[in-house]
Amino acid sequence: MFSTDHKVIGKQYIGLALFSVFLGMLLSLVMRFHLVHPDTKVRLFQMLWPEGAPGGQMTPELYLSLMTMHGTIMVFFVLTTAPQSGFGNYFLPLQIGAHDMAFPVLNMLSFWTTALSLVTLLLAFLVEGGAPLSGWTAYPPLSGLGKITGPGQGLGQDLWILSIAMFCVASLMGAINIIVTVIELRAPGMGYFDMPLTCWGWFVTALISLFAFAVLLPGGVLLLLDRVAGTSFFIPGGLIVNDQVQGRSGGSPLLFQHLFWFFGHPEVYIAILPGMGVISTVLSVFSGKKVFGYKAMAVAMLAIGGLGFVVWGHHMFISGMSPYSSIAFSVLTMAVGVPSAVKTFNWLATLWGGRLRFTAAMHYALGFVSLFITGGITGLVLGQPGLDIYFHDTYFVVAHFHLIMGVAAVFAIWAALHYWFPKMYGRFLNERLGKIHFFLTFVGVYAVFVPLHFAGFVGNPRRYPDFKEYEFLKSVTGLHMGVTHAAYFLAAVQLIFLFNYFWSQRRGAVAPGNPWGATTREWTDD
């Protein structure tokens, strides 16, 4: 259990992410149900959350706490752990010819800190007041004043911050490990530009993690101090909450947003860069060609990593910060789209002139490219402050980030699993089940997330437990009903994957040493 073997730790991370992704998905189903049946009493809700759903009727605070937990679980415990810590741990040493990570004990420690962080987060469901309702972004003062701002803002919010702080520490340990491993343990003669693009993905992601989590951690600590020690880092003077005068002064709510998004935007790239590496590999292997423009691809990753740190302000166009800084952030944001587009062109050029073998992994990789285009292109709308002024905090944003950060990254995880399963378990994931799962899921994600853009056109705000209060939201009732049913469908077909994943570990077809005819070291060594 407390293994220091990078392969075991990699599998542990993937296991943790698998548990988390299904939990996060179940929470989203409950939310989707409530959005279209806000008045329906459900006995199961009452059993699960006696405080939050008295008589089975879900309260707004319960909905918001499910939303907070869904976002937190998915962003941190799925999208940050599986691509980077899971596959990175397992395959980085193999691909660069190292016998393990540079610091195996540190590696074990970072996994168990992550696990403890997840337990701490889930405890928030059980304490008085329940889980926090301030969203995964936890903006103060809502998150900074304790339970006076709402149920769940007491102990639940404290546990949330503790969990995130622990996660930061774990990620920093993991990042240092990967950086040192890449710098010090490459096989003799292997230069940086001889590494597979997957290794570039993990390396750049580790660099991003180092700088991003190093800022989120103090942000979380300061927020906790505001809550428990009476400091005022983020709390301005003159507040009256719930008719009670708060004796604080001098803090800035916007300061927290700057710290949070200085982490939060690079976090998107933490989720997607390892996947980009995987996609490059899978497309190349199943096209029978080398990756087109290897060096441009590696440089594009570095450019995304670097530019990713100077665009955080596009999450704050309407926050009240200087309108002049919005202009600067806007230009930089549009600039970070360029290396992403360059990667897409290079993927298409990798396919060009190849002989494409449509394995399950290849399906997910091609699906990734399609989703990356669909999800990425709306960034050109949201990156303009003039246009964001309408779409900010509407379902248009929900659709955008779910496609690009959530779904595309998860497609990369599936591609990686199908591709590397033979190495990890000596057996294939069932190819036919994989393809069936791909087709149903691919249709499902388009059916869920494309229509949500249109709720955004109507101006539908996100983070609403129901839409009953507004005349203009009557027009999106049918749209949300359709999306909810598509979400049921999408969730149901994930059982195919789950079955395939566990069944194939024991019963899958036995795989030879290098089943795909790849040229990287994890298949050709030992």
Partner 1 sequence: MAIAILIAALAGATLALFFQPRWWFPEAISAHARAYDAHFLVTLCVIGCIFVFAQGLLAWVIFRYRDRGQAVTGSDGSSALEIAWTSATAVIFLGLALAGQGIWAGVHLEGSDPRALKVEVLAKQFAWSYRYAGADGAFGRVDIKQIDDAGGNSFGIDAKDPRGKDDLTAAVLRVPVGRPVELQLKSRDVIHNFFVRELRLKQDVVPGMTIPLRFTATKVGTYEVPCSELCGLGHHQMRSSLVVMTEDDYAAWLAEAQQKVVLP
Cα 317 to Cα 159, 192, 237, 349, 373, distances in angstroms: 30, 38, 24, 36, 24
Q: Rounded to an integer, what distance in angstroms lies between the CA atom of residue 487 and that of residue 479? A: 12
Nearest distance in Å: CB 280, partner 1: 12
Query: Can residue 354 be called a binding residue for partner 1 (CB under 8 A)?
Result: yes
Question: Interacting stretch for partner 1, rule CB under 8 A, among 110-118, 171-179, 205-213, 472-480?
Answer: 472-480
Query: Can residue 135 be called a binding residue for partner 1 (CB under 8 A)?
Result: yes
Identify the residue among 84, 280, 281, 333 touching partner 1 (CB under 8 A): 333
Looking at residues 407 to 466 of the shown chain, list those that interact with partner 1 (rule: CB under 8 A): 438-439, 442-443, 446, 450-451, 454-455, 457-459, 461, 463-466
Looking at residues 149 to 188 of the shown chain, list those that interact with partner 1 (rule: CB under 8 A): 149-151
Question: For residues 127 and 335, which CB has a smaller minimum distance to partner 1 in the complex?
Answer: 335
Question: For residues 92 and 476, which CB has a smaller minimum distance to partner 1 in the complex?
Answer: 476
Give me the residues paired with residue 461 across strands. 394
Question: For residues 106 and 296, which CB has a smaller minimum distance to partner 1 in the complex?
Answer: 296
Nearest distance in Å: CB 505, partner 1: 26
Question: Interacting stretch for partner 1, rule CB under 8 A, among 14-22, 129-137, 271-279, 416-424?
Answer: 129-137
Judged by CB under 8 A, the number of residues near partner 1 is 112
Question: Interacting stretch for partner 1, rule CB under 8 A, among 82-90, 102-110, 381-389, 493-501?
Answer: 381-389
Nearest distance in Å: CB 238, partner 1: 6
Query: Can residue 201 be called a binding residue for partner 1 (CB under 8 A)?
Result: no
Looking at residues 19 to 78 of the shown chain, list those that interact with partner 1 (rule: CB under 8 A): 59-61, 64
Q: Rounded to an integer, what distance in angstroms lies between the CA atom of residue 321 and that of residue 323? A: 6
409 close to 269: Cβ distance less than 8 angstroms: no
Nearest distance in Å: CB 316, partner 1: 9
Candidates 133, 165, 122, 114; CA nearest to 26 is: 122
Question: For residues 150 and 277, which CB has a smaller minimum distance to partner 1 in the complex?
Answer: 150
Question: For residues 43 and 290, which CB has a smaller minimum distance to partner 1 in the complex?
Answer: 290
SS (H, E, C) 220-246: HHHHHHHHHCCCCCCCCCCCEECCEEC
Question: For residues 81 and 134, which CB has a smaller minimum distance to partner 1 in the complex?
Answer: 134
Query: Can residue 331 be called a binding residue for partner 1 (CB under 8 A)?
Result: yes
Candidates 525, 500, 506; CA nearest to 514 is: 525
Candidates 76, 73, 45; CA nearest to 61 is: 45
Question: Interacting stretch for partner 1, rule CB under 8 A, among 11-19, 95-103, 187-195, 246-254?
Answer: 246-254
Give me the residues paired with residue 245 across strands. 240
Q: Is 510 helix (H, G, I), strand (E, B) or coil?
A: strand
Looking at residues 261 to 300 of the shown chain, list those that interact with partner 1 (rule: CB under 8 A): 287-296
Sign of CA dihedral 120, 34, 74, 494: positive
256 close to 223: Cβ distance less than 8 angstroms: yes
Nearest distance in Å: CB 52, partner 1: 11
Question: For residues 206 and 316, which CB has a smaller minimum distance to partner 1 in the complex?
Answer: 316
Nearest distance in Å: CB 520, partner 1: 15
Question: For residues 132 and 174, which CB has a smaller minimum distance to partner 1 in the complex?
Answer: 132
Question: For residues 59 and 504, which CB has a smaller minimum distance to partner 1 in the complex?
Answer: 59
- DSSP state at residue 78: I
Question: Interacting stretch for partner 1, rule CB under 8 A, among 77-85, 86-94, 272-280, 359-367?
Answer: 359-367
Q: Rounded to an integer, what distance in angstroms lies between the CA atom of residue 224 and that of residue 64? A: 21
Nearest distance in Å: CB 186, partner 1: 22
Question: For residues 169 and 458, which CB has a smaller minimum distance to partner 1 in the complex?
Answer: 458
Q: Which long-range contacts does 432-439 make (Cβ < 8 Å, 24+ apart)? A: 433/496, 433/497, 433/499, 433/500, 434/360, 434/361, 434/363, 434/500, 435/358, 435/360, 435/363, 436/496, 437/493, 437/494, 437/496, 437/497, 437/500, 438/360, 438/363, 438/364, 438/367, 438/414, 439/363
Question: For residues 127 and 239, which CB has a smaller minimum distance to partner 1 in the complex?
Answer: 239
Nearest distance in Å: CB 169, partner 1: 27
Question: Interacting stretch for partner 1, rule CB under 8 A, among 175-183, 270-278, 470-478, 485-493?
Answer: 470-478
Identify the residue among 252, 494, 505, 514 touching partner 1 (CB under 8 A): 252
Cα 386 to Cα 36, 77, 117, 292, 337, distances in angstroms: 32, 34, 39, 37, 18
| Residue 427 main-chain phi, psi, to 5 deg | -135, 160
Identify the residue among 1, 99, 184, 471 touching partner 1 (CB under 8 A): 471
Query: Can residue 355 be called a binding residue for partner 1 (CB under 8 A)?
Result: yes
Candidates 124, 123, 117; CA nearest to 61 is: 124
Query: Can residue 132 be called a binding residue for partner 1 (CB under 8 A)?
Result: no
Tokens linked to 222? 């300061």
Identify the residue among 201, 367, 406, 422 touching partner 1 (CB under 8 A): 367
SS (H, E, C) 137-155: CCCCCCCCCCHHHCCCCCH
